[in-house]
Amino acid sequence: MSLHITELDCADLRFPTSAESDGSDAMNPDPDYSAAYVIVRTSDPEQSGHGFVFTIGRGNEVQSAAIQALAPHLVGMDLDTVLAEMGETSRRLVHDSQLRWLGPEKGVMHMAIGAVINALWDLKARRAGLPLWQLLAEMSPEELVELVDFRYLTDALTREEALTILTDAEPGRAERIEQLRAGGYPAYTTTPGWLGYSDEKLARLSREAVADGFSQIKLKVGGNLADDQRRMAIARAAVGPDVRIAVDANQRWDVPDAIAWMNALATHQPYWIEEPTSPDDILGHAAIRQAISTPVATGEHVHNRVMFKQLLQADALDFVQIDATRVAGVNENIAILLLARKYGKPVCPHAGGVGLCELVQHLSMFDFVAVSGSMQDRVIEYVDHLHEHFATPAVIRDGRYLVPSTPGSSAEIVPLTRQRFRFPDGEEWSDR
Ligand SMILES: [Mg+2]
Protein backbone atom coordinates (compact mmCIF):
# COMPACT_ATOMS: atom_id res chain seq x y z
CA MET A 1 0.00 0.00 0.00
CA SER A 2 1.33 3.42 -0.83
CA LEU A 3 2.11 5.83 1.98
CA HIS A 4 1.15 9.44 2.35
CA ILE A 5 2.38 12.33 4.49
CA THR A 6 0.17 12.85 7.54
CA GLU A 7 1.75 15.66 9.56
CA LEU A 8 4.52 18.20 10.02
CA ASP A 9 5.14 17.66 13.72
CA CYS A 10 6.94 20.82 14.93
CA ALA A 11 8.71 21.51 18.23
CA ASP A 12 10.46 24.58 19.67
CA LEU A 13 13.63 23.15 21.29
CA ARG A 14 16.06 25.40 23.16
CA PHE A 15 19.29 24.72 25.04
CA PRO A 16 20.38 27.17 27.79
CA THR A 17 23.91 27.62 26.38
CA SER A 18 24.10 31.32 27.31
CA ALA A 19 24.66 30.33 30.95
CA GLU A 20 28.26 29.26 30.09
CA SER A 21 29.01 31.84 27.33
CA ASP A 22 29.25 28.91 24.87
CA GLY A 23 28.77 30.36 21.41
CA SER A 24 29.46 33.97 22.46
CA ASP A 25 30.90 36.33 19.86
CA ALA A 26 31.05 40.04 19.06
CA MET A 27 27.47 40.17 17.77
CA ASN A 28 25.86 37.37 19.75
CA PRO A 29 26.84 37.68 23.41
CA ASP A 30 24.25 35.30 24.88
CA PRO A 31 22.93 32.68 22.44
CA ASP A 32 20.65 29.88 23.61
CA TYR A 33 21.26 27.35 20.86
CA SER A 34 17.89 26.26 19.52
CA ALA A 35 16.24 24.11 16.91
CA ALA A 36 12.90 24.70 15.24
CA TYR A 37 12.46 21.00 14.81
CA VAL A 38 10.20 19.13 12.40
CA ILE A 39 9.30 15.51 11.99
CA VAL A 40 7.60 14.70 8.69
CA ARG A 41 5.25 11.90 9.69
CA THR A 42 3.65 9.42 7.30
CA SER A 43 0.84 6.88 7.33
CA ASP A 44 3.44 4.33 8.47
CA PRO A 45 4.46 5.20 12.06
CA GLU A 46 7.85 3.58 11.39
CA GLN A 47 8.66 5.93 8.53
CA SER A 48 9.36 9.57 9.33
CA GLY A 49 12.00 12.16 8.48
CA HIS A 50 13.71 14.66 10.79
CA GLY A 51 14.90 18.19 10.05
CA PHE A 52 15.36 21.54 11.77
CA VAL A 53 16.42 25.15 11.52
CA PHE A 54 19.17 26.30 13.87
CA THR A 55 18.38 29.56 15.69
CA ILE A 56 19.85 31.14 18.81
CA GLY A 57 16.79 31.44 21.04
CA ARG A 58 14.17 34.17 20.90
CA GLY A 59 12.17 33.86 17.68
CA ASN A 60 12.46 30.10 17.54
CA GLU A 61 8.67 30.02 17.95
CA VAL A 62 8.35 32.20 14.81
CA GLN A 63 10.61 29.79 12.92
CA SER A 64 8.50 26.83 14.11
CA ALA A 65 5.29 28.56 12.96
CA ALA A 66 6.83 29.11 9.52
CA ILE A 67 7.54 25.40 9.22
CA GLN A 68 3.95 24.63 10.17
CA ALA A 69 2.74 26.98 7.42
CA LEU A 70 4.12 24.52 4.87
CA ALA A 71 1.89 21.65 6.01
CA PRO A 72 -0.86 22.26 3.40
CA HIS A 73 1.75 21.71 0.66
CA LEU A 74 2.64 18.22 1.88
CA VAL A 75 0.00 16.68 4.13
CA GLY A 76 -2.02 14.13 2.16
CA MET A 77 0.60 13.88 -0.61
CA ASP A 78 1.75 10.50 -1.87
CA LEU A 79 5.14 9.86 -0.25
CA ASP A 80 6.74 7.99 -3.16
CA THR A 81 5.90 10.84 -5.53
CA VAL A 82 7.21 13.55 -3.19
CA LEU A 83 10.50 11.71 -2.61
CA ALA A 84 10.96 10.57 -6.21
CA GLU A 85 10.78 14.16 -7.48
CA MET A 86 12.80 16.10 -4.91
CA GLY A 87 13.66 18.80 -7.45
CA GLU A 88 10.00 19.40 -8.19
CA THR A 89 9.05 19.13 -4.50
CA SER A 90 11.62 21.79 -3.62
CA ARG A 91 10.56 24.14 -6.42
CA ARG A 92 6.91 23.78 -5.42
CA LEU A 93 7.68 24.95 -1.86
CA VAL A 94 10.17 27.68 -2.82
CA HIS A 95 7.95 29.21 -5.48
CA ASP A 96 4.61 29.22 -3.65
CA SER A 97 3.37 32.57 -4.93
CA GLN A 98 1.94 33.77 -1.60
CA LEU A 99 4.58 32.49 0.83
CA ARG A 100 7.25 33.81 -1.54
CA TRP A 101 6.17 37.35 -0.70
CA LEU A 102 7.70 36.90 2.77
CA GLY A 103 11.17 36.64 1.18
CA PRO A 104 11.55 36.08 -1.64
CA GLU A 105 13.89 33.15 -1.03
CA LYS A 106 15.36 34.52 2.18
CA GLY A 107 14.77 34.60 5.90
CA VAL A 108 12.37 32.72 8.13
CA MET A 109 10.16 31.24 5.40
CA HIS A 110 13.10 30.13 3.26
CA MET A 111 14.80 28.47 6.24
CA ALA A 112 11.50 26.75 7.09
CA ILE A 113 11.45 25.29 3.58
CA GLY A 114 15.04 24.14 4.18
CA ALA A 115 14.01 22.27 7.33
CA VAL A 116 11.20 20.48 5.54
CA ILE A 117 13.30 19.66 2.46
CA ASN A 118 16.07 18.34 4.72
CA ALA A 119 13.56 16.22 6.67
CA LEU A 120 12.32 14.73 3.40
CA TRP A 121 15.93 13.93 2.41
CA ASP A 122 16.42 12.30 5.81
CA LEU A 123 13.39 10.11 5.12
CA LYS A 124 14.50 9.34 1.56
CA ALA A 125 17.95 8.28 2.78
CA ARG A 126 16.47 6.13 5.57
CA ARG A 127 14.23 4.38 3.07
CA ALA A 128 17.21 3.78 0.81
CA GLY A 129 19.18 2.37 3.78
CA LEU A 130 22.01 4.85 3.10
CA PRO A 131 23.60 7.79 4.89
CA LEU A 132 22.60 10.98 3.07
CA TRP A 133 26.09 11.72 1.69
CA GLN A 134 26.19 8.32 0.03
CA LEU A 135 22.65 8.52 -1.34
CA LEU A 136 23.60 11.80 -3.04
CA ALA A 137 27.04 10.60 -4.10
CA GLU A 138 25.55 7.61 -5.90
CA MET A 139 23.01 9.62 -7.91
CA SER A 140 23.73 10.14 -11.60
CA PRO A 141 24.78 13.58 -12.88
CA GLU A 142 21.40 13.80 -14.65
CA GLU A 143 19.51 13.07 -11.43
CA LEU A 144 21.60 15.62 -9.52
CA VAL A 145 21.06 18.52 -11.94
CA GLU A 146 17.35 17.78 -11.76
CA LEU A 147 17.51 18.75 -8.05
CA VAL A 148 18.89 22.21 -8.76
CA ASP A 149 16.79 25.31 -9.37
CA PHE A 150 18.76 27.15 -12.07
CA ARG A 151 16.45 30.15 -11.97
CA TYR A 152 18.62 33.30 -11.56
CA LEU A 153 21.84 31.28 -11.98
CA THR A 154 22.22 30.88 -15.72
CA ASP A 155 24.43 33.93 -16.23
CA ALA A 156 26.97 32.16 -14.01
CA LEU A 157 26.12 28.46 -14.21
CA THR A 158 23.93 26.72 -16.75
CA ARG A 159 22.38 23.31 -16.45
CA GLU A 160 24.75 22.07 -19.17
CA GLU A 161 27.81 23.37 -17.30
CA ALA A 162 26.60 21.74 -14.09
CA LEU A 163 26.10 18.48 -15.93
CA THR A 164 29.66 18.71 -17.28
CA ILE A 165 31.08 19.38 -13.78
CA LEU A 166 29.28 16.33 -12.38
CA THR A 167 30.09 14.10 -15.34
CA ASP A 168 33.76 15.06 -15.19
CA ALA A 169 33.78 14.08 -11.50
CA GLU A 170 32.21 10.67 -12.11
CA PRO A 171 35.46 8.73 -12.66
CA GLY A 172 37.06 8.19 -9.27
CA ARG A 173 33.88 8.33 -7.22
CA ALA A 174 34.43 4.81 -5.86
CA GLU A 175 38.06 5.55 -4.91
CA ARG A 176 37.05 8.74 -3.15
CA ILE A 177 34.34 6.90 -1.17
CA GLU A 178 37.05 4.46 -0.03
CA GLN A 179 39.34 7.36 0.83
CA LEU A 180 36.58 8.95 2.95
CA ARG A 181 35.87 5.70 4.76
CA ALA A 182 39.55 5.19 5.48
CA GLY A 183 40.52 8.71 6.53
CA GLY A 184 37.42 10.81 7.13
CA TYR A 185 37.19 14.52 6.26
CA PRO A 186 39.33 17.31 7.81
CA ALA A 187 37.83 19.48 10.54
CA TYR A 188 38.79 22.60 12.44
CA THR A 189 37.57 23.61 15.87
CA THR A 190 36.02 26.80 17.23
CA THR A 191 35.68 25.35 20.74
CA PRO A 192 38.60 27.42 22.22
CA GLY A 193 37.71 30.76 20.71
CA TRP A 194 34.42 32.09 22.10
CA LEU A 195 34.67 35.72 23.07
CA GLY A 196 33.24 35.20 26.56
CA TYR A 197 35.98 32.74 27.58
CA SER A 198 38.82 33.80 29.91
CA ASP A 199 42.45 33.92 28.71
CA GLU A 200 43.20 30.81 30.76
CA LYS A 201 40.32 28.88 29.20
CA LEU A 202 41.38 30.06 25.71
CA ALA A 203 44.96 28.84 26.28
CA ARG A 204 43.88 25.52 27.79
CA LEU A 205 41.31 24.74 25.06
CA SER A 206 43.80 25.79 22.33
CA ARG A 207 46.39 23.32 23.68
CA GLU A 208 43.71 20.64 23.92
CA ALA A 209 42.69 21.26 20.30
CA VAL A 210 46.23 20.55 19.12
CA ALA A 211 46.47 17.48 21.37
CA ASP A 212 43.19 16.29 19.85
CA GLY A 213 44.73 16.43 16.37
CA PHE A 214 43.28 19.65 14.94
CA SER A 215 45.52 21.62 12.60
CA GLN A 216 43.24 24.68 12.62
CA ILE A 217 41.39 26.60 15.32
CA LYS A 218 39.22 29.72 15.13
CA LEU A 219 38.91 32.72 17.43
CA LYS A 220 36.08 35.21 17.68
CA VAL A 221 37.27 38.81 17.21
CA GLY A 222 35.81 42.27 16.78
CA GLY A 223 34.95 43.31 20.32
CA ASN A 224 38.12 45.22 21.22
CA LEU A 225 41.34 45.39 19.17
CA ALA A 226 43.74 45.25 22.12
CA ASP A 227 41.88 42.18 23.46
CA ASP A 228 42.02 40.53 20.04
CA GLN A 229 45.77 41.12 19.75
CA ARG A 230 46.33 39.68 23.23
CA ARG A 231 44.09 36.67 22.56
CA MET A 232 45.75 35.98 19.19
CA ALA A 233 49.14 36.02 20.92
CA ILE A 234 47.90 33.64 23.65
CA ALA A 235 46.43 31.25 21.10
CA ARG A 236 49.58 31.37 18.94
CA ALA A 237 51.78 30.62 21.94
CA ALA A 238 49.48 27.72 22.85
CA VAL A 239 49.26 26.08 19.41
CA GLY A 240 52.71 26.83 18.01
CA PRO A 241 53.67 28.17 14.59
CA ASP A 242 52.21 25.43 12.38
CA VAL A 243 48.57 25.34 13.44
CA ARG A 244 46.31 27.72 11.49
CA ILE A 245 44.32 30.32 13.42
CA ALA A 246 41.27 31.68 11.61
CA VAL A 247 39.33 34.64 13.01
CA ASP A 248 35.63 35.44 12.86
CA ALA A 249 34.11 38.92 13.31
CA ASN A 250 30.47 37.80 12.98
CA GLN A 251 29.52 40.86 10.85
CA ARG A 252 30.75 43.34 13.44
CA TRP A 253 32.48 45.90 11.22
CA ASP A 254 31.80 48.53 8.59
CA VAL A 255 34.11 48.17 5.61
CA PRO A 256 36.77 50.72 6.68
CA ASP A 257 36.82 49.27 10.23
CA ALA A 258 37.31 45.75 8.88
CA ILE A 259 40.27 46.86 6.78
CA ALA A 260 41.95 48.77 9.63
CA TRP A 261 41.32 46.01 12.18
CA MET A 262 42.59 43.22 9.94
CA ASN A 263 45.67 45.20 8.98
CA ALA A 264 46.36 45.57 12.72
CA LEU A 265 45.95 41.81 13.25
CA ALA A 266 48.00 40.85 10.18
CA THR A 267 51.23 40.30 12.16
CA HIS A 268 49.52 37.29 13.80
CA GLN A 269 48.90 35.81 10.34
CA PRO A 270 45.25 34.84 10.62
CA TYR A 271 44.31 32.07 8.19
CA TRP A 272 41.03 33.75 7.21
CA ILE A 273 38.74 36.52 8.33
CA GLU A 274 35.17 35.31 8.51
CA GLU A 275 32.10 37.54 8.14
CA PRO A 276 34.01 40.83 8.36
CA THR A 277 30.87 42.85 7.57
CA SER A 278 27.20 42.52 6.63
CA PRO A 279 26.54 39.24 4.82
CA ASP A 280 24.50 41.19 2.25
CA ASP A 281 27.39 43.52 1.36
CA ILE A 282 28.90 41.88 -1.68
CA LEU A 283 30.86 44.94 -2.83
CA GLY A 284 31.99 45.53 0.76
CA HIS A 285 33.43 42.01 0.97
CA ALA A 286 35.18 42.57 -2.36
CA ALA A 287 36.65 45.87 -1.14
CA ILE A 288 37.88 44.31 2.10
CA ARG A 289 39.42 41.39 0.23
CA GLN A 290 41.30 43.81 -2.05
CA ALA A 291 42.63 45.85 0.87
CA ILE A 292 43.94 43.18 3.26
CA SER A 293 46.38 40.29 3.09
CA THR A 294 44.13 37.82 4.97
CA PRO A 295 41.79 35.64 2.88
CA VAL A 296 38.05 36.31 3.30
CA ALA A 297 35.48 33.68 4.26
CA THR A 298 31.71 34.10 4.40
CA GLY A 299 28.41 32.34 3.85
CA GLU A 300 26.73 31.21 7.07
CA HIS A 301 24.25 34.09 6.78
CA VAL A 302 24.16 34.25 2.98
CA HIS A 303 20.53 33.59 2.37
CA ASN A 304 20.36 31.93 -1.03
CA ARG A 305 22.18 30.74 -4.17
CA VAL A 306 21.74 34.11 -5.90
CA MET A 307 23.81 35.88 -3.23
CA PHE A 308 26.51 33.21 -3.42
CA LYS A 309 26.53 33.66 -7.20
CA GLN A 310 27.21 37.36 -6.83
CA LEU A 311 29.89 36.91 -4.14
CA LEU A 312 31.67 34.58 -6.56
CA GLN A 313 31.14 36.80 -9.60
CA ALA A 314 32.50 39.80 -7.66
CA ASP A 315 35.54 37.80 -6.50
CA ALA A 316 34.54 38.83 -2.96
CA LEU A 317 35.59 35.71 -1.05
CA ASP A 318 38.24 33.01 -0.78
CA PHE A 319 36.27 30.38 1.17
CA VAL A 320 32.60 29.49 0.64
CA GLN A 321 30.92 28.75 3.97
CA ILE A 322 27.71 26.90 3.31
CA ASP A 323 25.29 26.28 6.16
CA ALA A 324 22.94 23.29 6.28
CA THR A 325 19.91 25.21 7.59
CA ARG A 326 20.23 28.78 6.25
CA VAL A 327 19.16 28.16 2.64
CA ALA A 328 16.35 25.99 1.25
CA GLY A 329 17.91 22.69 2.22
CA VAL A 330 19.97 20.05 0.43
CA ASN A 331 18.79 21.10 -3.04
CA GLU A 332 19.92 24.72 -2.80
CA ASN A 333 23.19 23.68 -1.17
CA ILE A 334 23.92 21.44 -4.15
CA ALA A 335 23.49 24.52 -6.36
CA ILE A 336 25.97 26.39 -4.17
CA LEU A 337 28.49 23.52 -4.24
CA LEU A 338 28.27 23.57 -8.04
CA LEU A 339 28.76 27.35 -8.15
CA ALA A 340 31.82 27.08 -5.88
CA ARG A 341 33.26 24.36 -8.12
CA LYS A 342 32.64 26.47 -11.23
CA TYR A 343 34.53 29.43 -9.67
CA GLY A 344 37.27 27.24 -8.18
CA LYS A 345 36.66 28.20 -4.53
CA PRO A 346 36.92 25.70 -1.67
CA VAL A 347 33.84 25.07 0.46
CA CYS A 348 34.50 25.16 4.23
CA PRO A 349 31.10 24.76 5.88
CA HIS A 350 29.83 26.63 8.90
CA ALA A 351 28.85 24.23 11.68
CA GLY A 352 28.55 24.12 15.44
CA GLY A 353 25.31 25.48 16.86
CA VAL A 354 23.08 22.56 17.54
CA GLY A 355 23.17 19.81 14.94
CA LEU A 356 24.94 21.75 12.20
CA CYS A 357 28.00 19.47 12.36
CA GLU A 358 25.73 16.46 12.07
CA LEU A 359 23.99 17.80 8.96
CA VAL A 360 26.71 19.55 7.00
CA GLN A 361 29.25 16.71 7.09
CA HIS A 362 27.00 14.92 4.57
CA LEU A 363 27.22 17.85 2.14
CA SER A 364 31.01 18.12 2.29
CA MET A 365 31.45 14.40 1.82
CA PHE A 366 29.07 14.44 -1.14
CA ASP A 367 31.02 17.39 -2.54
CA PHE A 368 34.27 15.46 -2.24
CA VAL A 369 32.92 12.34 -3.95
CA ALA A 370 30.76 13.83 -6.70
CA VAL A 371 31.34 17.57 -7.23
CA SER A 372 34.74 19.08 -6.42
CA GLY A 373 36.58 15.76 -6.07
CA SER A 374 39.00 17.47 -3.69
CA MET A 375 39.73 18.00 0.02
CA GLN A 376 42.47 20.53 -0.76
CA ASP A 377 42.08 23.64 1.45
CA ARG A 378 38.75 22.29 2.70
CA VAL A 379 37.76 21.88 6.35
CA ILE A 380 34.43 21.50 8.13
CA GLU A 381 33.93 23.52 11.30
CA TYR A 382 33.55 21.52 14.49
CA VAL A 383 32.36 22.68 17.89
CA ASP A 384 32.09 20.29 20.78
CA HIS A 385 28.63 21.25 22.08
CA LEU A 386 25.32 19.37 22.36
CA HIS A 387 26.22 16.32 20.26
CA GLU A 388 24.99 14.03 23.03
CA HIS A 389 21.40 14.96 22.16
CA PHE A 390 21.59 13.32 18.73
CA ALA A 391 20.69 9.74 17.89
CA THR A 392 23.80 9.46 15.67
CA PRO A 393 26.21 12.26 16.65
CA ALA A 394 29.02 13.42 14.38
CA VAL A 395 32.22 11.59 15.30
CA ILE A 396 35.60 13.32 15.28
CA ARG A 397 38.90 11.51 15.52
CA ASP A 398 42.36 13.06 15.16
CA GLY A 399 40.84 16.28 13.87
CA ARG A 400 38.73 14.63 11.19
CA TYR A 401 35.05 13.81 10.77
CA LEU A 402 34.51 10.07 10.48
CA VAL A 403 32.13 8.98 7.76
CA PRO A 404 28.51 8.56 8.95
CA SER A 405 27.22 5.09 8.20
CA THR A 406 23.69 5.12 9.68
CA PRO A 407 20.88 5.61 7.14
CA GLY A 408 19.54 9.18 7.05
CA SER A 409 20.90 12.69 7.49
CA SER A 410 22.00 12.44 11.19
CA ALA A 411 19.36 15.08 12.08
CA GLU A 412 17.45 13.09 14.69
CA ILE A 413 17.41 14.47 18.24
CA VAL A 414 16.61 11.77 20.79
CA PRO A 415 13.05 11.73 22.21
CA LEU A 416 14.10 12.43 25.82
CA THR A 417 15.85 15.65 24.76
CA ARG A 418 12.86 16.67 22.63
CA GLN A 419 10.77 16.42 25.80
CA ARG A 420 13.15 18.03 28.31
CA PHE A 421 14.28 20.99 26.20
CA ARG A 422 10.93 21.91 24.69
CA PHE A 423 10.31 25.63 25.20
CA PRO A 424 8.79 26.84 27.45
CA ASP A 425 7.20 23.80 29.09
CA GLY A 426 9.98 21.17 29.03
CA GLU A 427 11.45 20.57 32.49
CA GLU A 428 14.74 22.26 31.52
CA TRP A 429 12.83 25.53 31.08
CA SER A 430 9.83 25.28 33.39
CA ASP A 431 12.26 25.19 36.34
CA ARG A 432 13.95 28.46 35.34
MG1 LIG B 1 31.08 32.27 11.91
Res. 358 pLDDT band, cuts 50 70 90: very high
Tell me how far the alpha carbon of residue 326 lies from the centroid of ligand 1, in angstroms. Answer: 13
Mean pLDDT of the residues in the chain: 97
Q: What is the pLDDT of residue 349?
A: 98
Q: What is the pLDDT of residue 29?
A: 85
- Amino acid identity of residue 334, one-letter, is I
* Segment 280-307 mean pLDDT: 98
- Tens-digit pLDDT profile for residues 190-249: 999 998 899 999 999 999 999 999 999 999 999 999 999 999 999 999 999 999 999 999
Is the per-residue pLDDT at 139 higher than 90? yes
Distances (CA, A) of 40 to 55, 115, 150, 330: 20, 10, 27, 16
Domain coordinates of the chain in residue numbers?
Answer: 173-417
Tell me how far the alpha carbon of residue 190 lies from the centroid of ligand 1, in angstroms. Answer: 9
3-state percent breakdown (helix, strand, coil) of the chain, nearest 5: 45, 15, 40
Is the per-residue pLDDT at 70 higher than 80? yes
Confidence (pTM): 0.98
Q: What is the pLDDT of residue 20?
A: 82
CATH class of this structure's domain 173-417: alpha beta
| Integer Rg of the chain from CA | 21
Q: Is 350 a catalytic residue?
A: yes
Strands 244-248 and 216-220: parallel
CB contact at 8 A, 179 and 400? no
* Segment 272-280 mean pLDDT: 98
Sequence-separated (6 or more) residues with CB below 8 Å from residue 12: 34, 36, 37, 60, 61, 64, 422, 423
Strands 319-320 and 5-14: unpaired
Q: Is 220 a catalytic residue?
A: yes
Tell me how far the alpha carbon of residue 301 lies from the centroid of ligand 1, in angstroms. Answer: 9
- Tens-digit pLDDT profile for residues 332-346: 999 999 999 999 999
The residue annotated as part of the active site, out of 309, 342, 350, 389, is: 350
Q: What is the pLDDT of residue 422?
A: 98
* Segment 379-389 mean pLDDT: 96
Q: Which of 416, 417, 411 is nearest to 118 (CA)?
A: 411
